[in-house]
Amino acid sequence: LNRTKKYLTGIYPYSLMSSSFYPVHDDQQALKITFSAQEWCGQVFAQINNRKKFKIKSFSYFESEGDIDIELEKNVLENELWNRIRINPFDLPIGEFKMIPDLEYIRMTHKELATYNAIASLTNNDGFGTYRLTYPELDRTLEIKFESSFPYTIESWTDSFKSGFGSKAQTMTSKATKIKTLNTPYWRQNRNNDIFLRDTLGL
Protein backbone atom coordinates (compact mmCIF):
# COMPACT_ATOMS: atom_id res chain seq x y z
CA LEU A 1 0.00 0.00 0.00
CA ASN A 2 1.42 3.38 -1.06
CA ARG A 3 0.63 6.81 0.35
CA THR A 4 1.90 10.04 -1.16
CA LYS A 5 1.63 13.66 -0.03
CA LYS A 6 2.74 16.81 -1.84
CA TYR A 7 2.34 20.30 -0.42
CA LEU A 8 3.95 23.70 0.03
CA THR A 9 4.96 25.64 3.13
CA GLY A 10 5.39 29.13 1.73
CA ILE A 11 7.69 28.74 -1.27
CA TYR A 12 9.13 25.44 -0.02
CA PRO A 13 7.91 22.19 -1.69
CA TYR A 14 7.53 18.88 0.15
CA SER A 15 7.06 15.42 -1.37
CA LEU A 16 6.46 12.43 0.94
CA MET A 17 5.89 8.76 0.19
CA SER A 18 5.25 5.78 2.47
CA SER A 19 5.01 2.14 1.36
CA SER A 20 3.87 -0.84 3.42
CA PHE A 21 4.40 -4.37 2.12
CA TYR A 22 1.96 -6.60 3.99
CA PRO A 23 1.04 -10.29 3.44
CA VAL A 24 -2.52 -10.94 2.31
CA HIS A 25 -2.96 -13.49 5.11
CA ASP A 26 -3.67 -11.28 8.11
CA ASP A 27 -1.75 -13.33 10.65
CA GLN A 28 1.68 -11.73 10.35
CA GLN A 29 3.28 -8.30 10.28
CA ALA A 30 4.46 -6.10 7.44
CA LEU A 31 7.44 -7.54 5.59
CA LYS A 32 8.87 -4.11 4.87
CA ILE A 33 8.06 -0.44 5.49
CA THR A 34 9.72 2.40 3.59
CA PHE A 35 9.45 6.18 3.83
CA SER A 36 11.09 8.94 1.83
CA ALA A 37 10.88 12.72 1.92
CA GLN A 38 12.18 15.27 -0.53
CA GLU A 39 12.19 18.72 1.03
CA TRP A 40 13.48 22.15 0.13
CA CYS A 41 16.78 21.53 1.93
CA GLY A 42 17.45 17.81 1.44
CA GLN A 43 16.26 14.21 1.43
CA VAL A 44 15.41 11.55 4.01
CA PHE A 45 14.92 7.80 3.65
CA ALA A 46 13.96 5.17 6.23
CA GLN A 47 13.26 1.45 5.98
CA ILE A 48 12.03 -1.24 8.38
CA ASN A 49 12.76 -4.88 7.51
CA ASN A 50 10.97 -7.71 9.31
CA ARG A 51 13.69 -10.07 10.56
CA LYS A 52 14.05 -11.78 13.96
CA LYS A 53 13.66 -8.23 15.20
CA PHE A 54 12.75 -5.13 13.22
CA LYS A 55 15.90 -4.02 11.40
CA ILE A 56 15.70 -0.26 10.85
CA LYS A 57 17.89 2.03 8.80
CA SER A 58 17.39 5.75 8.38
CA PHE A 59 19.38 8.34 6.44
CA SER A 60 18.89 12.08 6.86
CA TYR A 61 20.49 15.25 5.57
CA PHE A 62 20.16 16.66 9.12
CA GLU A 63 23.59 16.51 10.76
CA SER A 64 22.04 15.94 14.19
CA GLU A 65 20.09 12.91 12.88
CA GLY A 66 22.66 11.48 10.49
CA ASP A 67 22.57 7.75 9.73
CA ILE A 68 20.68 5.34 12.01
CA ASP A 69 21.07 1.55 12.06
CA ILE A 70 19.12 -0.05 14.92
CA GLU A 71 17.00 -3.05 15.88
CA LEU A 72 13.70 -2.90 17.77
CA GLU A 73 11.67 -5.67 19.35
CA LYS A 74 8.66 -6.63 17.28
CA ASN A 75 5.58 -4.61 18.18
CA VAL A 76 2.67 -3.29 16.16
CA LEU A 77 3.66 -0.95 13.33
CA GLU A 78 1.40 2.03 12.76
CA ASN A 79 2.31 1.99 9.06
CA GLU A 80 0.75 -1.46 8.63
CA LEU A 81 -2.62 -0.49 10.16
CA TRP A 82 -3.90 0.80 6.82
CA ASN A 83 -3.24 -2.58 5.20
CA ARG A 84 -4.86 -4.41 8.09
CA ILE A 85 -7.99 -2.29 7.79
CA ARG A 86 -8.36 -3.21 4.11
CA ILE A 87 -7.86 -6.94 4.86
CA ASN A 88 -9.64 -7.47 8.18
CA PRO A 89 -10.30 -4.40 10.36
CA PHE A 90 -11.93 -6.46 13.10
CA ASP A 91 -8.55 -7.99 13.91
CA LEU A 92 -6.96 -4.62 14.67
CA PRO A 93 -5.19 -4.32 18.04
CA ILE A 94 -7.29 -2.66 20.75
CA GLY A 95 -6.67 -1.72 24.36
CA GLU A 96 -3.18 -0.84 25.62
CA PHE A 97 -0.11 -2.06 23.77
CA LYS A 98 3.29 -1.02 22.39
CA MET A 99 3.54 0.51 18.93
CA ILE A 100 6.14 1.92 16.54
CA PRO A 101 4.67 5.18 15.16
CA ASP A 102 4.33 6.06 11.50
CA LEU A 103 7.72 6.80 9.93
CA GLU A 104 6.31 9.98 8.41
CA TYR A 105 5.23 11.28 11.82
CA ILE A 106 8.64 10.42 13.31
CA ARG A 107 10.37 12.33 10.53
CA MET A 108 8.17 15.42 10.45
CA THR A 109 8.25 15.88 14.25
CA HIS A 110 11.88 14.77 14.74
CA LYS A 111 10.83 12.25 17.41
CA GLU A 112 13.03 9.34 18.40
CA LEU A 113 12.54 6.25 16.25
CA ALA A 114 11.41 3.98 19.08
CA THR A 115 8.49 2.05 20.56
CA TYR A 116 5.78 4.02 22.41
CA ASN A 117 2.75 3.21 24.54
CA ALA A 118 -0.51 3.27 22.61
CA ILE A 119 -4.23 2.96 23.39
CA ALA A 120 -6.72 1.98 20.68
CA SER A 121 -10.45 1.45 20.32
CA LEU A 122 -12.70 0.21 17.51
CA THR A 123 -16.32 1.29 17.16
CA ASN A 124 -18.99 0.51 14.58
CA ASN A 125 -21.88 2.80 13.73
CA ASP A 126 -24.25 3.10 10.73
CA GLY A 127 -22.17 0.83 8.52
CA PHE A 128 -18.85 2.50 9.28
CA GLY A 129 -16.04 1.54 11.61
CA THR A 130 -13.77 4.02 13.39
CA TYR A 131 -10.36 3.06 14.67
CA ARG A 132 -9.04 5.53 17.24
CA LEU A 133 -5.37 5.38 18.22
CA THR A 134 -3.81 7.53 20.95
CA TYR A 135 -0.18 7.93 22.04
CA PRO A 136 -0.20 9.47 25.55
CA GLU A 137 3.56 10.13 25.48
CA LEU A 138 3.36 11.91 22.13
CA ASP A 139 0.09 13.79 22.72
CA ARG A 140 -1.15 12.44 19.40
CA THR A 141 -4.43 10.90 18.21
CA LEU A 142 -5.18 9.21 14.88
CA GLU A 143 -8.71 8.31 13.77
CA ILE A 144 -9.43 6.25 10.66
CA LYS A 145 -13.00 5.79 9.37
CA PHE A 146 -13.80 2.92 7.00
CA GLU A 147 -16.71 0.90 5.61
CA SER A 148 -17.47 -1.96 7.99
CA SER A 149 -18.22 -4.37 5.13
CA PHE A 150 -15.84 -5.74 2.49
CA PRO A 151 -13.77 -4.28 0.81
CA TYR A 152 -13.46 -2.08 3.94
CA THR A 153 -12.83 1.11 1.97
CA ILE A 154 -11.12 3.85 3.97
CA GLU A 155 -13.39 6.90 3.94
CA SER A 156 -11.46 9.48 5.97
CA TRP A 157 -8.82 10.05 8.61
CA THR A 158 -7.86 12.69 11.16
CA ASP A 159 -4.40 13.07 12.73
CA SER A 160 -3.92 15.48 15.66
CA PHE A 161 -0.73 16.18 17.61
CA LYS A 162 0.94 18.89 19.67
CA SER A 163 3.47 21.07 17.87
CA GLY A 164 5.75 23.58 19.56
CA PHE A 165 7.06 24.00 23.08
CA GLY A 166 5.69 25.16 26.42
CA SER A 167 2.89 27.70 26.43
CA LYS A 168 3.27 28.23 22.68
CA ALA A 169 2.49 24.59 21.82
CA GLN A 170 -0.55 24.17 19.59
CA THR A 171 -2.62 21.21 18.47
CA MET A 172 -2.14 20.64 14.76
CA THR A 173 -4.71 18.57 12.84
CA SER A 174 -4.55 17.01 9.39
CA LYS A 175 -7.76 15.72 7.78
CA ALA A 176 -8.49 13.79 4.62
CA THR A 177 -11.74 12.54 3.06
CA LYS A 178 -12.15 10.23 0.11
CA ILE A 179 -13.27 12.17 -2.96
CA LYS A 180 -13.97 9.45 -5.49
CA THR A 181 -13.13 5.84 -6.36
CA LEU A 182 -12.41 4.36 -9.79
CA ASN A 183 -12.16 0.64 -10.51
CA THR A 184 -9.69 0.76 -13.36
CA PRO A 185 -6.41 -0.90 -14.50
CA TYR A 186 -4.28 1.98 -13.24
CA TRP A 187 -0.98 0.17 -13.88
CA ARG A 188 -1.64 0.52 -17.64
CA GLN A 189 -2.75 4.15 -17.53
CA ASN A 190 0.64 5.86 -17.65
CA ARG A 191 0.37 7.84 -20.88
CA ASN A 192 -0.33 11.51 -21.44
CA ASN A 193 -3.83 10.77 -22.71
CA ASP A 194 -4.62 9.16 -19.32
CA ILE A 195 -4.04 12.38 -17.39
CA PHE A 196 -7.76 13.22 -17.50
CA LEU A 197 -8.32 10.42 -14.97
CA ARG A 198 -6.65 12.55 -12.30
CA ASP A 199 -9.32 15.19 -12.87
CA THR A 200 -11.97 12.48 -12.68
CA LEU A 201 -10.62 11.51 -9.27
CA GLY A 202 -10.50 15.14 -8.17
CA LEU A 203 -6.71 15.18 -7.85
> What's the pLDDT score for residue 100?
98
What are the domain boundaries of the chain? 2-201
- pLDDT tens, 139-165? 999 999 999 999 999 999 999 998 888
> What's the pLDDT score for residue 160?
97
DSSP 8-state code for residue 156:
E
DSSP-derived secondary structure for 87-127: H-GGGS--EEEEEEPPHHHHHHHT--SS-EEEEEEEEEETT
Q: Which residues of the chain have pLDDT under 50?
A: none
> What's the pLDDT score for residue 66?
80
> What's the pLDDT score for residue 89?
95
> What's the pLDDT score for residue 98?
98
- Give, in degrees to the nearest 5, the angle at Cα 25 between 77 and 105: 20
Residues in CB range of 5: below 8 A, 6 or more apart: 14, 15, 16, 17, 104
Q: What is the pTM of this model?
A: 0.92
The most distant pair of C-alpha atoms in the chain lies apart, rounded to whole Å, by 52
> What's the pLDDT score for residue 26?
65
